Every structure is written in C-alpha cells, then in structure tokens.
Amino acid sequence: MRVVAVANQKGGVGKTTTAVNLAAAAAELGWRTLLIDADAQANATSALGVRSSGSYLYDVLLGQAALAGCIVSSPWPRLDVVPSSMDLVAAEMELATRPEREYVLRAALSEVTAPYDLTLIDCGPSLGLMTLNALTASDAVIAPVQCEYLALEGLSALLETIRRVQSHLHPGLCLLGVVATMYDGRTRLSQDVAAELKSHISSIFDTIIPRSIRLSEAPSHQRPIIDYAPRSRGAEAYRELTQELLSRLATLPSSTLYRSGAVDGVSV
C-alpha cells in the first residue's frame, strides 16, 4: 500500500477536490483505494455523501477504536472512506498529551489488514497535530497550489514544513509533486503563475487542473467529477493527473511504512 497526503496549509487551494477526485479516478482504474478525511470540516466526507459507521477517527486518535472500524464503503467500486466529523478538533487537543502523538495515525493504518493499494489523506488547512499525523503516516505528499497571486510564496511555506517533518519526524517523506489548480487560461495572471510554477518547481505535475464550474458543482451532488460529468474538462484533467500520480508512485522504492499491495501483478 502507498499512502499519499494531499496537503497545503493554505486554505481553499483545491486539496479536497484533488483528494476526492484522485481517489475516485484511481478506484476506477482498478486500485483498491481508501480516502481518509483528516479535516474537521469534513468536506471530502460530504463531497462523496458517505456517512460514518458510528466509529470515528476521533476515537482512533485517542486509542479507543481501530481504524478498520471507521472505514465505510462508498457507492463506487473499490473506493472506501474514513469519514470525518467536527470532533476531530477536540481529538487534536487531547492528542497533545499522548506519547508518540505524531505517529498515532501511522500506527493505526499499519494495523488495517484490508488490501488497499492506495490511501489518500485529505488534510485540512492547518499545521496542527492532525496534519502532522497525516504527514508522518504518508510515503509522499501532493501539494495543490492555486494559480493566483503569491502562489509561490505560499508554496515556500509548505516546502519548509515538509523539510521540517523530514528532519524531525519522518525522513522518508517525499514530495511527490505540486499540482497547479483552478487554472483559468483566459486570464494573464493564471498563465503567468502556471509558467512561474513550471520554471521554479521541478516536481510540478504536467497536468494542470482547469477552473471549472462542473468541478465546483460535483460536491453538492455528492459525486466525484468522473461520475458527475465524466466527459468534462475537469474529469479529463483529474484522470490525467491520476495517471501521472500512479506512474510517479511506481518510481518510488517500495513503502517503508506499510506492506505492499499488488495491482495487476505489479507490486505497489
């Protein structure tokens, strides 16, 4: 199993949209996929219309439940979800006094025996203990960046965070790539920011996610874009990004954190 966090401490840059749609597209391609909603806003949970089984990530973080008990299936084949709820905020505070408090999610994930090939973690817009738990539980990070003014400044804060996590908590964490989101080809600003990202960030994904009404509508219909508007530009972009994600994952050494799964006989 590979675990990838979708993170950026800046709010509203497309983390949830990216996590939900990558998870759905990976599942469509045959990957047994788990999406963990690690944000108390629970946007990924509501975007897929899933409901908790009654066991919450909150209880897992406090050592009172197993992660497996929080997993619910989604209406889409091969896509399961760990839903979130508001009380994650409380869990974060209570976690503060626990030993090994940055590694609780990693420990809980390593006990999941269901054979997932890919786990995606949707992080909230903060650098609290929940996000640190998500990063220490991950093999790699994807960082969405909105094509807007000061995009690069926001990104340098994120890269600094990743470096700190690497040096203090999880040396094996890898930045898989930066993805430019909400690109509006009609504006000079979007074009300039996308060009700047391409020239400064070596890990930038070739796929650029366009600004699209369809993408912003899909969550209110509780469907991923590949189901809500399968032939839209947004759906195509997320399918392409998923291909890029999977091929980048294939170049990483096998997970040091978790047992490997297999997709079509290829170890992942």
Ligand X SMILES: Nc1ncnc2c1ncn2[C@@H]1O[C@H](COP(=O)(O)OP(=O)(O)OP(=O)(O)O)[C@@H](O)[C@H]1O
- Return the residue nearest Mg ion (CB atom): 16
125 lines the binding site for ligand X (CB under 6 A): yes
17 lines the binding site for ligand X (CB under 6 A): yes
239 lines the binding site for Mg ion (CB under 5 A): no
Joined together, the tokens standing for residue 38 give 């690690």
21 lines the binding site for Mg ion (CB under 5 A): no
The neighbouring-strand residues paired with 174 are 140
The Cα 149–Cα 192 span in angstroms is 9
Segment near ligand X (CB under 6 A), from 24-32, 37-45, 54-62, 166-174? Answer: 37-45
Number of residues that bind ligand X (CB under 6 A): 20
Joined together, the tokens standing for residue 268 give 């992942």
* C-alpha to C-alpha distances, 182 to 147, 191, 209, 221, nearest whole angstrom: 6, 11, 6, 20
Binding partner of 209, given ligand X, Mg ion, none, CB within 5-8 angstroms per partner class = ligand X
Segment near ligand X (CB under 6 A), from 35-43, 62-70, 132-140, 165-173? Answer: 35-43
Q: Around Cβ 106, how many Cβ atoms within 10 Å?
A: 20
* C-alpha to C-alpha distances, 86 to 41, 43, 91, 249, 250, nearest whole angstrom: 6, 11, 10, 32, 35
Name the H helices within the chain.
15-28, 43-47, 57-61, 88-95, 104-110, 129-136, 151-168, 188-200, 213-217, 225-228, 233-251
By CB under 6 A, the residues from 192 to 231 that bind ligand X are 209, 211-212, 215-216, 219
Q: Among residues 214, 192, 237, 197, which one has the least CA distance to residue 18?
A: 237
Exactly one of 16, 21, 74, 133 binds ligand X (CB under 6 A); that residue is: 16
Exactly one of 2, 3, 7, 15 binds Mg ion (CB under 5 A); that residue is: 15
177 lines the binding site for ligand X (CB under 6 A): no
The Cα 165–Cα 172 span in angstroms is 10
The Cα 201–Cα 152 span in angstroms is 9
In the shown chain, the binding pattern of residues 31 to 60 toward Mg ion, with x for contact by CB under 5 A and - for none, equals ------------x-----------------
By CB under 6 A, the residues from 142 to 171 that bind ligand X are none
128 lines the binding site for ligand X (CB under 6 A): no
Binding partner of 211, given ligand X, Mg ion, none, CB within 5-8 angstroms per partner class = ligand X
Site for ligand X, rule CB under 6 A: 11-17, 39, 41, 43, 124-125, 181-182, 209, 211-212, 215-216, 219
